[in-house]
Amino acid sequence: MVESIHEINIKFNGEWVFLINCSVDEDGNLIEGEVVLHSKSRDEIFRNMNKYKDSPSMISIRYAGKIPEGVNVLL
Interface positions with another protein (CB under 8 A) = 19, 22, 24, 26-30, 41-43, 46, 49-50, 53-56, 58-63, 66-67, 71-75
Q: How far is the CB of 62 from another protein (least distance, A)?
A: 4
**For another protein, the closer CB: 1 or 72:** 72
For the chain, the C-alpha Rg in angstroms (whole number) is 13
Collapsing DSSP to helix, strand or coil, 30 comes out as: strand
Do 21 and 60 form a contact (C-beta atoms < 8 A)? no
**For another protein, the closer CB: 1 or 54:** 54
Residue type, 38: H
